[in-house]
Amino acid sequence: MISSIRLYFLGTGGSWPTPQRNTLSVGVRINDEAILFDCGETAQTSLMKSSLSLMRIKKIFITHFHGDHFLGLPGLIQTMSFYGRTEPLEIYGPIGASTVLGNLLSIGYYSLNFEMRIEELKGSGSIDFGDYSVAYAKASHTIPALCYALTEKDYAKLEESKIKELKVPRNLLEKIRKEGSARVNGKTINIEDISAGIRRGRKISYSGDTRRDESLLDLFKNSTVLIHESTGDKTNQSKVISYGHSTGKDAGIQARDSNTKKLILVHFSPRYNDIKPIVDEAKSIFPNVTAAEELMEMEVNIND
Amino acid sequence: MISSIRLYFLGTGGSWPTPQRNTLSVGVRINDEAILFDCGETAQTSLMKSSLSLMRIKKIFITHFHGDHFLGLPGLIQTMSFYGRTEPLEIYGPIGASTVLGNLLSIGYYSLNFEMRIEELKGSGSIDFGDYSVAYAKASHTIPALCYALTEKDYAKLEESKIKELKVPRNLLEKIRKEGSARVNGKTINIEDISAGIRRGRKISYSGDTRRDESLLDLFKNSTVLIHESTGDKTNQSKVISYGHSTGKDAGIQARDSNTKKLILVHFSPRYNDIKPIVDEAKSIFPNVTAAEELMEMEVNIND
């Protein structure tokens, strides 16, 4: 069972870093394990400055192989090894991932003490990790790229009065959750017998780099949090789109049309000294917008 | 003629970054051009925070291919291209440089607008760049590694009274410096005719990662500034040496025995919260020691 889901904005900037913003990387802590979406340069240093230990990271999902989304990997991996990691690390990415990451790990003089498991994701799909799944779909970008959505499994809300009435021992509750039923004093108790409805699992969607595209609404649908790129605003809209990106307005539309609860904007073009025009555009379409800041952390609240 | 030589400490830490110190990179500005010694992760961001424009960089000298000395290269190069660079960039490194840097530049989806000229340096030697030269020699490390020394050409001190007496036009002074002589009013004027001795060129030596080794004293000899690694102190001396590094004391000995003027310590092990024991060790051997700080800048004064 997942209790806490917490977001860590390790890098929030666009195609290259500035003194104010590093390139993109977002950590998600799910109970005791963590995953990363993208891993821009300096992600390891941001992790060290955050409250998320880099040793908790089990899986890294790369959206695509533009440098600002993955050049923090070799340094992070090397430091994990210096820290004494022996546990395997899973890295997921779009078509080409095996080649790119294979090349990346063959440069220089690594001597890693742990195994890298690289998985190349093709088309769209979903990977089941037990308490949560990660779905992926094709982004609309200039090179092969993915968007991701992490979804917590739906969760039965238990009813204390029914548990007591049926005398179900506490130590069987997780078993009934997982398997749907258990034998108690010679009788079968089903999850429905002790629950009062379903708590919908939290969902965190992550756009990486993409133009606004209706085909992504299914992936983003009913997100608790949608972390969406917003490279520019209406003043440079045609350029933004031609480079495979979204404006603030595009991000707002995707949040609104996917029935998202909260939109968090990232990947602001480094050409903007002031991102207010981008954020205002998104807010003109969708009310609940936050502009990510470096090292911002945020608890993802349980859905009602 | 070189007027100003200025140092920029872009990253001063050891094998992995900490929130306080980035991995190693030192910029040297020589009049209007700049070079880098090593290029650890985040060097580009440090450059943006410093007063040295990353567009001034013409040459990068990598000491060796442990990640903390070169993983800032791909991001820096990509950003140079985003900034519109068209001028070629020269990268120098030890044996294996062509392969490593070739691999590094073939990962992901680069589209560079400028040429990379990679030169692999074997053994020891010196490269003449006109107003200065860069010499290199084999470091004592665990993998192929180089130490470097940048030396300004010696410079004739001109004597105003002689210039006036011989009626040498101002616009011929540089020619006489460079070529040793010029024809003035039908007579040959030699550099000796208008000068009063020689100003010795400034010299900046850079150790990269190395054990203390007497064979390096020739490269470091008479340095104005010796930038030397100092990974640990006497409390972990045997480990420091077994990993191919120097203690503070080792750095002090190299400075003293090479007749260096000023020793600047870099590459402190990230295991040290307080580097004072390392710095004190160096100072016990050699008086003029500075511990490099992140983004420290320093003018290299003209030798008397």
Domain assignment present for residue A296? The answer is: no
Q: Residues A175, A29: one domain?
A: no
The domain total for chain A is 2
Which of B19, B23, B75 has its CB closest to that of A71? B75
Test the A interface: residue of B18, B23, B25, B45 with most A CBs within 10 Å? B45
Closest approach of chain B CAs to the CA of A20, in angstroms? 9
Whether residues B161 and B20 share a domain: the answer is no
SS (H, E, C) chain A: CCCCEEEEEEECECCCCCCCCCCCEEEEEECCEEEEECCCCCHHHHHHHCCCCHHHEEEEECCCCCHHHCCCHHHHHHHHHHCCCCCCEEEEECCCHHHHHHHHHHCCCCCCCCCEEEEECCCCEEEECCCEEEEEEECCCCCCCEEEEEEECCEEEECHHHHHHCCCCHHHHHHHHHHCEEEECCEEEEHHHHEEEEECCCEEEECCCCCCCHHHHHHHCCCCEEEEECCECHHHHHHHHHCCCCEHHHHHHHHHHCCCCEEEEECECCCCCCCHHHHHHHHHHCCCEEECCCCCEEECCCCC
ipTM for the whole complex: 0.90
Predicted model pTM: 0.91
Q: Is position B300 within any domain?
A: no
CB A265 within 8 A of CB A285: no
Of the three residues A141, A174, A197, the one that is the final residue of a domain is A197
Closest by CA position to A264, among listed A202, A204, A217: A204
Distances (CA, A) of B91 to A106, B56, B87, B94, B136: 20, 14, 13, 10, 14
DSSP 8-class letter at B153 = P
B interface with A, Cβ–Cβ < 8 A, is 15-19, 22-23, 41-42, 44-45, 48-49, 64-68, 70-72, 74-75, 78-79, 82, 100, 103-104, 106-110, 143
Amino acid identity at B270: P
Residue of A nearest to B42 (CA): A42
Share of chain B above pLDDT 70, in %: 99
How would you write the pLDDT of chain B (304 residues) with one tens digit per residue?
788 999 999 999 999 999 999 999 999 999 999 999 999 999 999 999 999 999 999 999 999 999 999 999 999 999 999 999 999 999 999 999 998 888 877 776 777 889 999 999 999 999 999 999 999 999 999 999 999 999 999 888 889 999 999 999 988 888 888 888 999 988 999 998 999 888 889 999 999 999 999 999 999 999 999 999 999 999 999 999 999 999 999 999 999 999 999 999 999 999 999 999 999 999 999 999 999 999 999 999 876 4
A303 confidence band (pLDDT: 50, 70, 90)? low
Which residue range(s) make up the domain with A186? 156-197
In a domain, A303, yes or no: no
Domain check: are A192 and A284 in the same one? no
Nearest CB to A41 within list B41, B106, B108: B41
**Per the domain annotation, does B109 fall within a domain?**
yes
pLDDT digits 0-9 by tens, B239-280: 999 999 999 999 999 999 999 999 999 999 999 999 999 999
Residue B268 belongs to some domain of the structure: yes
> Which residue of chain A comes nearest to B40, CA vs CA?
A75
The answer to whether residue A32 is catalytic is no
3-state class of B44 per DSSP? helix
Percent of the residues in chain A that have a pLDDT greater than 90, as a whole number: 83
- B175 with B264, same domain: the answer is no
Contact A109 B143 (CB under 8 A): yes
Domain with B268 in it: what CATH number? 3.60.15.10
Same-domain check for residues B206 and B263 = yes
Q: What is the pLDDT of residues A72-118, one digit of tens each?
A: 999 999 999 999 999 999 999 999 999 888 887 777 677 788 999 99
Both A11 and A50 in a single domain? yes
Backbone angles phi, psi at B103, to 5 degrees: -60, -45
What is the SS3 assignment for B42?
coil
**One domain for residues B54 and B115:** yes
Confidence at residue B303, expressed as pLDDT on a 0 to 100 scale: 65
DSSP string, B164-212: HHTT--GGGHHHHHHHSEEEETTEEEEHHHHEEEEEPPPEEEE--S---
Predicted confidence band of residue A250 (pLDDT cuts 50, 70, 90):
very high
CA distance A136 to chain B (A): 20
Query: A209 contacts in B (CB within 8 Å)?
Result: none
Contact: A19, B74; criterion CB under 8 Å: no
